[in-house]
């Protein structure tokens, strides 16, 4: 009986021992969780120090309850509570706290590593800054040597170009072009200035005239140009751009932060950087594009869009409107664009037909005339005065015989002056003579413009037509000779192959009109028609002249040699209007022509001619016969 009682007490002792072990294990976990000092401090705050050191299970459990629940108001453990269930809940709570502590320690380690990395970077930057303060200049022997070479180059210069000295600085120094200068000034000095295209041969002052015109009108009240209005000049042949818009010096482009080199402070944050173009630099002033006809057609269309919007818009896949790091100016550029309100002035040596119709429709057009020999003479005299060059009498006239544009006249004068200077034994002064000019002409392989002889004596099978090329006009000498065919109806027609297909068509038109008006069949003749000089007649305007010279050759009627004719001949004998009549007429006047026969439909554009030159309008080719033919 005593043995049974002992066996009953032993399981009770084992259960109590297990409870002590589990409680002790929880305390060790708390010690690992908070540390010994932390555990004592927490127990002291929760009034659990005495309970922790007690031998009673209930007291130690109560201490654990207070610390785990952070509640010092828990006063007792209910006797009827199942201690094992209570300990199980505490163990789960301890496991959760330990797991959280492990995660926090891992995160803390990562944070500490990041802080160490940043600290090292910061420390490196501080070291670099200290080094820069200690040695503020990055120079070394090699860089100083290159800098010295650059300084030497800056201090060494040749005399400025003679063409720069001779460039007109006042509108009065632009010789001729009175109509063009007046038109340009009037179109700019208005509250509503328009875009402009300047046509004309090279070297007549188009660029200089535009620059001086802005200087004359800006700041005046009747136009919108302010005193600081810019004049941005660019050559259309140099405006290369990337269709992908990675670069566009005219309109501007966007440099993305990865491939195109945005500024460092922007690239590090992945922010694209807009680069304004010339249209934005010209805002409020004039954008002058020389040789605008040479621009890429697609770029011209993009320019037209800017002219319409008066603003340039940019796009980039790297731009994020919600990114708070983007500077305000970049945000405004992407969202509102950059203002580009300017007046476009384009200059070209091409004909209007070769310029984009869309561009021409938005621009006023001004035409500069080719220079006459008298105007070249005046330019040479003015340039000699600017350069303080003494010239022999007749030098300016000699240059005017060989040169047709101002820039080349100045170049020839400077070349002749160099020859005179090197030939002279004394340094100054020297005189440029005609022999110096002839030598310079010989060195430069300059040939005089082809001039057709104009005379008073009539000639059979020879007539003067009118042609135009490169904004210049002149005479076309056409001749013909006819022989009876060896066999009637088997005659041949020989015509210049170089004259072009349109001139050849004019021969066939003339043959039809001849047969209609006179009954003559060209197949009964061996006919040879020649355009002297082998010129390519790009257009039908020689049709009337070809008909008359054929008629002269067949009928042996002499043609007056002081008269020129131009006009397209239809197969019904009508004389149709032609283009470039102004240039053709000026060329005829300067060649010494006294009378000019033109289509009557061209009289709405009747050109201004010199005194003594008669303009004869005709509608039908027969109306020209009394003026062209002269009795022997």
Q: Which residues are catalytic?
A: 541, 584
Q: Give residue for tokens 């420390």.
A: 123
Contact 524, 560 (CB under 8 A): no
C-alpha triplet 329, 308, 251: angle, nearest 5°: 50
For strand 273-276 and strand 252-255, is the pairing parallel, antiparallel, or unpaired? antiparallel
Within 10 A of 607 (CB to CB), how many other CB atoms are there?
18
* Closest by CA position to 349, among listed 155, 185, 204: 204
Contact 344, 197 (CB under 8 A): no
Q: Give residue for tokens 């020649």.
A: 530
Sign of the alpha-carbon dihedral angle for 538, 540, 545, 548: positive
Which residues does residue 478 pair with via DSSP β-bridges, in sequence order?
A: 463, 531
CA dihedral 127, 128, 130, 135 (to 10 degrees): 140
Which residues does residue 484 pair with via DSSP β-bridges, in sequence order?
A: 525
**Cα–Cα distance for residue pair 569/571, rounded to 1 Å:** 7
Sign of the alpha-carbon dihedral angle for 588, 589, 591, 596: positive
DSSP-assigned states of every residue in 448-512: PPP-----SS-EETEEEEEEEETTEEEEEEEEEEEEE-SSTT---EEE-GGG-HHHHHHHHHHHH
**Cα–Cα distance for residue pair 395/339, rounded to 1 Å:** 52
Nearest 5°: phi and psi at 438?
-65, -40
DSSP-assigned states of every residue in 38-73: HHHHHHHHTT-HHHHH-S-HHHHHHHHHHHHHT-TT
* Closest by CA position to 621, among listed 531, 503, 506: 506
Per residue, the 3-state secondary structure of 245-256, as one string, reads CCCCCCCEEEEC
Nearest 5°: phi and psi at 465?
-100, 180
Contact 255, 315 (CB under 8 A): no
For strand 195-199 and strand 363-367, is the pairing parallel, antiparallel, or unpaired? parallel
**Cα–Cα distance for residue pair 317/277, rounded to 1 Å:** 20
């Amino acid at each position: 009986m005593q043995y049974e009682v002992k066996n009953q007490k032993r399981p009770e002792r084992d259960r109590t021992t297990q409870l002590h072990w589990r409680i002790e294990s929880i305390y060790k976990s708390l010690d690992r969780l908070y540390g010994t000092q932390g555990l004592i401090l927490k127990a002291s705050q929760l009034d659990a120090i005495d309970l922790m050191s007690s031998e009673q299970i209930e007291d130690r459990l109560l201490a654990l309850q207070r610390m785990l629940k952070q509640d010092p108001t828990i006063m007792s453990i209910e006797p009827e509570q199942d201690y094992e269930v209570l300990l199980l809940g505490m163990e789960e709570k301890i496991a959760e706290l330990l797991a959280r502590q492990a995660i926090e320690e891992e995160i803390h380690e990562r944070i500490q590593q990041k802080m160490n990395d940043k600290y090292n970077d910061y420390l490196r930057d501080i070291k670099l800054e200290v080094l820069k303060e200690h040695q503020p200049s990055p120079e070394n022997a090699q860089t100083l040597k290159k800098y010295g070479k650059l300084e030497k180059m800056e201090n060494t210069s040749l005399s400025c170009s003679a063409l720069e000295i001779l460039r007109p600085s006042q509108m009065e120094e632009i010789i001729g072009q009175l109509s063009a200068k007046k038109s340009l000034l009037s179109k700019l000095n208005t509250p509503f200035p328009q875009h402009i295209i300047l046509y004309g041969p090279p070297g007549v002052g188009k660029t200089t005239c535009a620059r001086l015109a802005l200087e004359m009108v800006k700041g005046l009240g009747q136009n919108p140009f302010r005193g600081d209005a810019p004049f941005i000049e660019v050559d259309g042949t140099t405006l290369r751009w990337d269709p992908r818009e990675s670069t566009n010096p005219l309109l501007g482009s966007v440099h993305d932060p990865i491939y195109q080199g945005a500024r460092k402070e922007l690239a590090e944050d992945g922010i694209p950087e807009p680069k304004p173009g010339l249209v934005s630099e010209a805002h409020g002033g004039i954008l002058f594009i020389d040789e605008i006809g040479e621009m890429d057609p697609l770029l011209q269309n993009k320019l037209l869009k800017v002219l319409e919007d008066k603003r340039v818009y940019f796009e980039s896949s790297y731009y994020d409107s919600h990114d708070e790091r983007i500077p305000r100016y970049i945000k405004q550029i992407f969202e509102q664009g950059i203002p580009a309100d300017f007046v476009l002035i384009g200059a070209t040596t091409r004909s209007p037909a070769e310029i984009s119709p869309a561009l021409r429709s938005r621009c006023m057009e001004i035409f500069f005339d080719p220079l006459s020999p008298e105007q070249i003479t005046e330019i040479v005299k003015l340039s000699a005065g600017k350069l303080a060059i003494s010239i022999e009498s007749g030098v300016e006239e000699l240059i005017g015989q060989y040169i047709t544009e101002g820039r080349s006249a100045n170049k020839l004068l400077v070349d002749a002056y160099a020859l005179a200077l090197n030939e002279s034994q004394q340094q100054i002064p020297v005189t440029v003579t005609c022999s110096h000019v002839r030598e310079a002409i010989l060195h430069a392989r300059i040939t005089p413009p082809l001039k057709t002889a104009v005379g008073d004596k009539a000639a059979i099978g020879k007539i003067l037509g009118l042609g135009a090329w490169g904004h210049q006009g002149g005479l076309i000498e056409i001749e013909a000779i006819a022989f009876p065919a060896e066999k009637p109806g088997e005659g041949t027609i020989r015509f210049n192959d170089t004259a072009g297909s349109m001139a050849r068509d004019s021969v066939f038109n003339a043959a039809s009109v001849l047969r209609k008006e006179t009954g003559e069949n060209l197949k009964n003749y061996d006919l040879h028609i020649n355009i002297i000089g082998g010129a390519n007649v790009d257009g039908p305007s020689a049709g009337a002249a070809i008909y008359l010279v054929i008629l002269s050759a067949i009928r042996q009627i002499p043609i007056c040699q002081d008269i020129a004719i131009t006009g397209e001949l239809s197969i019904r004998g009508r004389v149709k209007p032609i283009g470039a009549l102004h240039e053709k007429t000026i060329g005829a006047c300067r060649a010494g022509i006294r009378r000019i026969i033109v289509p009557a439909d061209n009289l709405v554009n009747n050109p201004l001619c010199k005194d003594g030159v008669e303009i004869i309008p005709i509608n039908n080719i027969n109306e020209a016969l009394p003026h062209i033919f002269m009795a022997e």
